[in-house]
Structure 1
Amino acid sequence: MLLAHRAMVRDLDRVERTARELAGAPDAVRAGALSRYVDKLGIVIHHHHEGEDEFFWPRLQDAGADREALEVLAAEHAELAEVLAAWRAAGARPVADAAAATQLADLSAAVRDHLSGHTADEERELLGRLAPSLDERLWKKFETHMARTAPLWTLRFMPAWLLSVANPDEQGGVPIPLLARLFSSRLERTQRAAFGDNY
């Protein structure tokens, strides 16, 4: 969870900086690679929130978790959904002019700022008011649900993506470590193509 949050925020920052560069110096190849990466990142963020809304929060509620904490997190997801939809729409096509690139940059910054605040709240609540209702069994069920409902391509993407933000003492928390190492170079090439000097 912590690694996913960190990777989302990091990549949104990279998207913003790259889009601002493209506003001043158009590059059709980079714009195409950035658009494809935004699509992947948007799917990953949406799946993460959907898994929490439809699986994790209801099971926490059934376990007697603090209702107010869950309501706060659900409300933040609803707020984020609007700006995420606008951001994904802006990134759906390669930015072809300064205005489109600036719009993508501005929306990336807005999503990043919203998401940074939300992830901080979520991590605080999971370690605080929600902690008494959490146990290893529920975490495992959530992990299994996320793996089962994710698009197939994320098997190549997610482990390497999480590993890319993990400190040495966090690498044990990366799922499927063999795949993480196997696809790390591929992920780096994809990100360098999208972000260039902002990698």
Structure 2
Amino acid sequence: MVVVHRVFRRESALAPRLVRAVPDGGTARAAQVAAHLDDYVMGLHHHHSLEDELIWPLLHARGADGGLGERMEEQHQRIDRTLAVVAEWLPAWLREASPIAREELALALAEHHTVLLEHLDDEERLVLPLVAEHLTVDEWELVGRRGLEGLPKDKVLLAVGAILEDATPEERAYFLGRAPLLGRLMWRLVGRRKYAASCRALRGPLDGETGR
């Protein structure tokens, strides 16, 4: 979970910067950033749905959630509300890439980042010890497998790249060691280059940020 959380920490921090780096009227670039935001939101919702399906029912059935389930659900709702504000400003920004819509969208994404970090910190501090104590290894590994299986096939290699980007060598070895042989070959032959090219295309304009 911590490795996946790093993805959401990194991408939610980058999101306001990516938006602010789009020039006035840069609708083509705005569309590119918006597509990335769509993928980010899809991944976050998928992650939360897996927790709701595969973690919380087991902790509750084993009398181990201690009321944390309600706290996590409330935080999920707060996160969803921040994303609703993002969704409200995206169409206006996509139409004209105007400075007002750009700043409002960036502010909404910054608020989302703040609320998300609180949730991720709580999960790592409060929930992961319960998972380690009350879930079996097979139950926990199912969460990871379903995380990739539930993604669109054309997004899987990019998701693998996002997970491995900030992973330690030990984490990389653990993650890839549990992937099927075909998956490991695809990552080495295609995935690494595909993810690197995607990052260059998306993040390249940040090199010229003006500090807006």
- Common fold: TM-score over 0.5: yes
> What is the CA-CA distance between 1:167 and the residue it aligns to?
2.2
**Secondary structure of residue in 1 paired with 2:167:** coil
Per-residue CA deviation, residues 145-185 of structure 1 (Å, 9 max, x unaligned), is 33343332332221111011212232124353444443132
Structure 1: 5+ residue runs without aligned partners? Answer: none
Identify the residue that residue 193 of structure 1 maps to in structure 2.
201
State which drifts further: 86-95 or 106-115.
86-95
State whether residues 85 and 108 of structure 2, in contact with CA within 8 Å, keep that contact through their aligned partners in structure 1: yes
Q: How do 1:33-182 residues align onto structure 2 when only pairs under 5 Å count?
A: 33-91=32-90, 94=94, 96-175=97-176, 176=179, 177-181=184-188, 182=190
Cα distance, 1:8–1:178 mapped onto 2, change above 3 Å = farther
CA contact (8 A) 1:33 1:193 kept: no
Report the Cα offset of residue 82 of structure 1: 1.2
Code of the residue aligned with 1:154 in structure 2: it is K
Q: Number of residue pairs matched? A: 198
| Alignment partners' CA distance in 2, 1:62 and 1:145 | 21
- Residue 88 to residue 149, structure 1, CA distance change in 2 (3 Å): same
* Runs (5+) with no aligned partner, structure 2: 208-212
TM-score scaled to structure 2, two decimals?
0.81
The structure-2 alpha-carbon separation of the partners of 1:80 and 1:120, relative to structure 1 and needing over 3 Å to count, comes to same
Residue deviations 1:84-126 (CA, integer Å, cap 9, x gap): 2322443466361111111221111111111111111001123
Q: Which amino acid aligns with 1:30?
A: R
Taking structure 1 as reference, are residues 86 and 153 closer, same or farther at Cα in structure 2, changes over 3 Å only? farther
> 1:57-86: per-residue Cα shift (whole Å, max 9, x none)?
112222332232222212211211111232
- Between the aligned residues of both structures, percent identity stands at 26
TM-score (norm. length: structure 1): 0.86
Residues 161 and 184, structure 1, Cα contact 8 Å, conserved in 2: no
SS of match in other structure, 1:128 = helix
RMSD: 2.3
